[in-house]
Chain A
Amino acid sequence: MFWLRLRDTALLVSISLVAFFLFGELAMRLYLMRQTFYDVEMSRYALSLKQDAENPLIGHVHRPNREVELMDVPVRTNADGFRDDDYPVEKGDRWRIIFLGDSLTFAWGVEKEKSFEHLLEKVLDARRPTEIINFGAGNYNTVQEVNLFLEKGLRYQPDQVVLFYFINDAEPVPQRSSLAWLGYSRMATFYWSRIKALLARYDESTTFAGYYSALYEPDAQGWKDAKAAILQLRDVSREKGIAFQVVLLPELHDLVDYTFAREHGLISEFLRNNGVEVLDLAPSFADQTEPMSLWVALDDAHPNAKAHRLIAERSLEFIAAAGK
């Protein structure tokens, strides 16, 4: 009798779970036809655009010549996998700049024409013939950005390289998850995302502030690796006669009383002490009293078109100065 009841209970739970999952998946897909959900879009980005790189220090690269809509914005990659036009490898007469960075430089959630890379290219090109190649890729850290530059960037013979550094760039190089296939399920993505948000309400270390700050603890390996990668990029640039600069992009939660002032100070000090030109954009964003007006969406604090315009305006003279 006991075993019979146990078997029925197990069957009951299994059937209800399957029914719930199927119903939920259908409901979620119908809901997402009208709504955009950041974690689902990130998952779609990973599944549609990313592929493993041969170099483990690069981790992943974009698939070449792909077109996909992410965060309601068209994204197209060129023959080299960059979100940019195709450029001949051989350099012409134009001043050639390469932008290195992560999803912010990639212009996640923003049309290419409104990205700071495109806006800066337009203004700089009007001053003197200039082209900017956007090497930005989502989820990159500094180690990946530098290794991508060494592998692909040097071939383009740039005159200048600008590393756009964001607070999470000191994370370790990401590894492919064994549960990657779950990304195909909107239900699984929803639960993963919302449980993460729930935990952040009760555990300080899982909030953006606690998590990013911890990346800069003295013994944090990611920060040590990021520093080593920056020095490597500095040395290669010097050797090849390439102007090298770093721009620190602001984190967009609290710009008046900037959340990561200590960490930005630490990064700037390291760069200056090692002879790297740096522009910290966070202080110039202190006039932004409504930070959410700069976000791509409520659940996505990436910079939107307005923020990209501000980044372009406020980094223009710094970037232009290197070309003089």
Chain B
Amino acid sequence: MREFARKYKWYLLGIVGLYVAVSLWLFFFTDSPQTVPFVYQVN
């Protein structure tokens, strides 16, 4: 596993960076007054 991580270190960082970028985009792009209905959360 350690060898795998060393071999693909930059790929791993790149993919995680991509997830973070998508999350931040989602966070700011949808940070607006409520537009959706109140939804059921009975969980």
Contact = CB atoms under 8 A, between A and B. Distances in A.
B18 to A, nearest CB: 9
Closest 3 CB pairs of A and B: A180-B43, A174-B40, A16-B15
A197 B12 CA distance: 29
A320 interface: no
A45 interface: yes
Contact of B15 (A13, A23, A24): A13
A145 interface: no
Interface stretch (A119-127, A198-206, A229-237, A264-272): A198-206
Contact of A208 (B11, B19, B36): B36
A197 B33 CA distance: 10
A147 to B, nearest CB: 15
A298 interface: yes
Interface of B: 4-5, 8, 11-12, 15-16, 19-20, 23, 26-27, 29-30, 32-43
A139 B34 contact: no
A211 interface: yes
A41 to B, nearest CB: 10
B36 A46 contact: no
B40 A171 contact: yes
A15 B12 contact: yes
Contacts, number: 107
B30 A198 contact: yes
Interface string A184-216: 000000110011111011000011100110000
Given A20-B16, A20-B19, A208 B41 contact: no
Contacts of A46: 41-43
Contacts of A43: 41, 43
Contacts of A16: 12, 15-16, 19
Interface in A1-29: 8, 11-13, 15-17, 19-20, 23-24
B34 A38 contact: yes
Contacts of A292: 33
A315 to B, nearest CB: 21
Given A46-B41, A59-B42, A201 B35 contact: yes
Contacts of A13: 15
Contacts of B33: 292, 295, 298-299, 301
